Amino acid sequence: MTAPRSRSGPTAARKVLGRLSLPERNFVADALRTETVGGVILLVAAVAALVWSNIPALHASYESAGQFHVGPGALGLHLPVEHWAADGLLAVFFFVAGIELKRELVAGDLKDPRAAALPVIAALCGMVAPAIVYTVTSLAGGGSLGGWAVPTATDIAFALAVLAVIGTSLPSALRAFLLTLAVVDDLLAILIIAVFFTDRLNFAALGGALAGLLVFWLLLRKGVRGWYVYVPLGLVIWGLMYNSGVHATIAGVAMGLMLRCTTREGEERSPGERIEHVVRPLSAGLAVPLFALFSAGVSLSGGALADVFGRPETLGVVLGLVLGKTIGIFGGTWLTARFTRASLSDDLAWADVFAMATLAGIGFTVSLLIGELAFDGDPTLTDEVKAAVLVGSLVAAALATVLLKLRNAHYRRLYEAEERDEDQDGIPDVYEEDDPAHHLRMADILEHKAAEHRRIAEEKAAERARRLAEVPGGAGEENDSPA
């Protein structure tokens, strides 16, 4: 995120991770509240999966639940529950991601190419570097290169849940940077899934899915409303996309990108923002946690954890998340600032950017999905890669917690300054520093306080004088008499 140029002149230096605009700040705050709650639920679901799958008496029931088949076989949708979670529920997650990306492109910070450069380049570097780290590690150990994409994704909900647990009051610019970074990250992950994990194509089903998307777009253009129109159509598109061989989550992001995310006259919020406000809790609170419940159940025995650091594929995933993400995002951010002659916000230090880059090494939801796709024919390696994702994410979370805690007092002061609203008009004071009306309101408030303090001072002085007059030996005739 970069702040607009100062009004002092066109050559004024831009600020990296400067203060957000007020509308962007409000949007980010609303989005992060839902994601944080969803992240906590995601943590609970992941822990439940690990407990359920690692207790010997319950392990069989976990496997049976995940392999239980439901759905219409005639439509090619008689699928195991774990597939419904990965291909169906995650389509809701990617639908929200599509809306977020569309909004960022047409109304958010990605609309301005100068402002978009930082999160886009940071996200690109944050995906290329982990892939390189995985490839080098796997080649050095003679392992498979099939999992190169596993450590490339950042899980925003999990990362925000970590922030909620450690209680860090991050300033809005850092939180927005993490959110925007994750939006671009999700788009790139979707492209990776579509390009590299589509091994067969049913052109009839794909044509039907594309025709459904065209109908979806035309209905939106005509202004047709009603969930009873779009939900059944969305399900048809999803089913056709699944049978086409292209990963079904692509249908979700495609429909999300089609929604209008700009406001028109008389609208307080665009259709995309309204729908996202409704669907985001479903995604963060139900779809993603259920996916985690059926995907995160891997063995946590001592031998299994030791194998994570003993196999080149799993070690590559851990190093990709912990080292690759940190180096890529921090390096991309620093290089962008260096070559655009932008300077870091006066309130922040490069150590803060490094901590956020470390936090972005938490790759859970999409990393687990890519791990399943990459090693689909090897269940043992799939489970080991999932364990590596969990270990890498845990290490990244622990490192980020330590780094952020070191600056927590500073963050708290910044956060309090951003939230201060002394004139109580609902707008933080930092956004009204150039508004004369704000300063007039503050003058009235301070004059009222000054008058109140003067009145209290006069009352206290009079009360003290009365007490002195009533005390023997105080003011009175006795004071004039000799002892």
pLDDT of residue 20: 60
Q: Hey, what are 244's tokens?
A: 């086409």
332 contacts 360 by C-beta, under 8 angstroms? no
Exposed, middle or buried by CB within 10 Å (0-12, 13-18, 19+), for 183? buried
pLDDT of residue 40: 81
434 contacts 457 by C-beta, under 8 angstroms? no
When pLDDT is cut at 50, 70 and 90, the band that residue 322 belongs to is very high
CB atoms within 10 A of CB 478: 9
Percent of the chain topping pLDDT 70: 86
What is the number of residues in the chain?
A: 483
pLDDT tens-digit readout, 25-71: 666 666 666 666 777 888 888 889 989 988 989 889 998 998 898 88
When pLDDT is cut at 50, 70 and 90, the band that residue 5 belongs to is very low
What is the number of alpha carbons within 13 Å of residue 342 lying toward its C-beta?
22
Q: Which residues of 85-119 are buried (b: 16+ CB within 10 A; e: fewer)?
A: bbbbbbbbbbbbbbbbbbbbbebbbbeeeebbbbb
pLDDT above 60: residue 8: no
Closest CA to 45 of 357, 292, 257, 388: 292
Which residue has tokens 């845990």? 394
Mean pLDDT score, 267-292: 88
Mean pLDDT score, 289-297: 87
pLDDT above 90: residue 131: yes
Exposed, middle or buried by CB within 10 Å (0-12, 13-18, 19+), for 248? buried
pLDDT of residue 158: 78
Alpha-carbon distance of 168 to 437, in angstroms, equals 33
When pLDDT is cut at 50, 70 and 90, the band that residue 12 belongs to is very low
pLDDT tens-digit readout, 387-409: 999 999 999 999 998 998 888 77
Average pLDDT, the chain: 83
Alpha helices in 245-287 (DSSP H): 249-258, 271-282
pLDDT higher at 276 or 11: 276
pLDDT higher at 19 or 219: 219
pLDDT of residue 207: 95
220 contacts 260 by C-beta, under 8 angstroms? yes
Mean pLDDT score, 213-225: 93
Q: Hey, what are 238's tokens?
A: 């999803």
Q: Hey, what are 406's tokens?
A: 């070191």
pLDDT of residue 187: 78
393 contacts 158 by C-beta, under 8 angstroms? yes
Cβ contacts of 35-38, under 8 Å, gap ≥ 24? 35/156, 35/157, 35/160, 35/179, 35/280, 35/284, 36/157, 36/160, 36/161, 36/163, 36/164, 37/284, 37/285, 38/157, 38/161, 38/281, 38/283, 38/284, 38/285, 38/288, 38/289
Q: Which of 98-112, 153-167, 421-435 has the highest mean pLDDT?
A: 98-112
pLDDT above 80: residue 179: no
pLDDT above 90: residue 180: no
What is each CA distance from 154 to 150, 297, 366, 379, in whole angstroms?
10, 20, 8, 24
Q: Which amino acid is at 103?
A: R
What letter does residue 87 receive in the DSSP assignment?
Answer: I
Residues 116, 321, 37, 371: is their CA dihedral positive or negative?
positive
Mean pLDDT score, 309-334: 94
What letter does residue 8 receive in the DSSP assignment?
Answer: T
pLDDT of residue 139: 94
What letter does residue 150 receive in the DSSP assignment?
Answer: G
What is each CA distance from 411 to 17, 223, 346, 418, in whole angstroms?
14, 45, 13, 10
Q: Which amino acid is at 32?
A: L
Percent of the chain topping pLDDT 90: 26
Mean pLDDT score, 436-455: 86
pLDDT of residue 17: 61
pLDDT above 60: residue 11: no
pLDDT of residue 174: 77
Alpha-carbon distance of 396 to 107, in angstroms, equals 32
pLDDT of residue 325: 95
